[in-house]
Amino acid sequence: MARPRLTAEAADGVRADICAAAARLYERDGYDAVTMRAIAAAMDRSQALPYRYFKNKEHIFVALRAMCFDRLTTTMEAVLARGDPPLVTLHTMAHSFITFAEANPAEYRLMFALRQPPPAEYPELHAARQRALATLQTAYQQAVDQGLISGDALTGSHVVWAAMHGLLTLHLAGQLTIGRRLDELVAPMLDTLFGPRRMAAAKAAGRRPQG
């Protein structure tokens, strides 16, 4: 025959390199710095190379998004694995969500950009997002099962997700005028979502060493 095709792993490796270069550019110099030419230049390759591995620029950003969601999911699953009392877990999970966003604002902006291709077109990204939400839902379900929260977990976890996300979105867009510390709004938000008295009691009673 002829020259053998790249192994699937090899092709994935190149794709990973492309994503890494794009991520580095994005994190260091912002969205506008992520150009196809710059990505290729960072890899010491020609400007046309990325097009052999991604259909277009948008697909590269979709891949980046999925990677970010995977990272977020990992931290959320770690919280769930600690096995704290449900309300403590929810509280901690919400804070780790906020910590993630504040530590990686550029990534968060990317993940939840308002201008995005319809998720249905990118099942991989959709799955990554669902994994994060499922983790929250599991924690919420445990709280419901123990009678600490009423309502169904699917709806409730969506409400929590949306409320936290709204806070972070406004914060990152500089549209929060109340003070400088986001915490001033996080605490009341969590109180509203989970109830202040129950939270305090759960935290006092539920602290464990590790898990």
Partner DNA sequence: CGGATTTAATTAACGTTGTTCAAAGAATCT
Partner DNA sequence: AGATTCTTTGAACAACGTTAATTAAATCCG
Interface residues with its own copies (CB under 8 A)?
A: 31, 109, 112-116, 118-120, 129-130, 133, 151, 154-156, 158-159, 161-167, 169-170, 172-178, 184-185, 188-189, 192-193
The CA angle 108-114-117, to the nearest 5 degrees, is: 105
- Applying CB under 7 A, among 29, 30, 37, 162 the residue interacting with DNA is 37
The C-alpha atoms of residue 168 and residue 10 are separated, in whole angstroms, by: 38
The C-alpha atoms of residue 165 and residue 163 are separated, in whole angstroms, by: 5
What is the CB-side half-sphere exposure of residue 146 using CA atoms within 13 A? 13
Would you count residue 1 as binding DNA (CB under 7 A)? yes
Contact 23/58 with Cβ under 8 angstroms? no
* Amino acid of residue 62: V
Residues 6+ apart with CB under 8 A from 141: 153
Would you count residue 111 as binding DNA (CB under 7 A)? no
Binding segment for DNA among 56-64, 72-80, 132-140, 202-210 (CB under 7 A)?
56-64
Would you count residue 20 as binding DNA (CB under 7 A)? no
- Applying CB under 7 A, among 25, 34, 94, 149 the residue interacting with DNA is 34
Residue 147 touches which member of its own copies, DNA, none, C-beta under 5-8 Å by kind: none
- Applying CB under 7 A, among 16, 30, 51, 162 the residue interacting with DNA is 51
Would you count residue 38 as binding DNA (CB under 7 A)? yes
Contact 111/69 with Cβ under 8 angstroms? yes
Helix (H, G, I), strand (E, B) or coil at 87: helix
Provide the minimum distance between the beta carbon of 135 and DNA in the complex, in angstroms, as a whole number: 33
Would you count residue 126 as binding DNA (CB under 7 A)? no
The C-alpha atoms of residue 199 and residue 203 are separated, in whole angstroms, by: 6
Would you count residue 164 as binding DNA (CB under 7 A)? no
Provide the minimum distance between the beta carbon of 75 and its own copies in the complex, in angstroms, as a whole number: 19
DSSP for 148-163, please give it.
Answer: SS-S-HHHHHHHHHHH
Task: Give contact residues for DNA (rule: CB under 7 A).
Answer: 1-6, 11, 14, 34-38, 40, 45-49, 51-52, 56-58
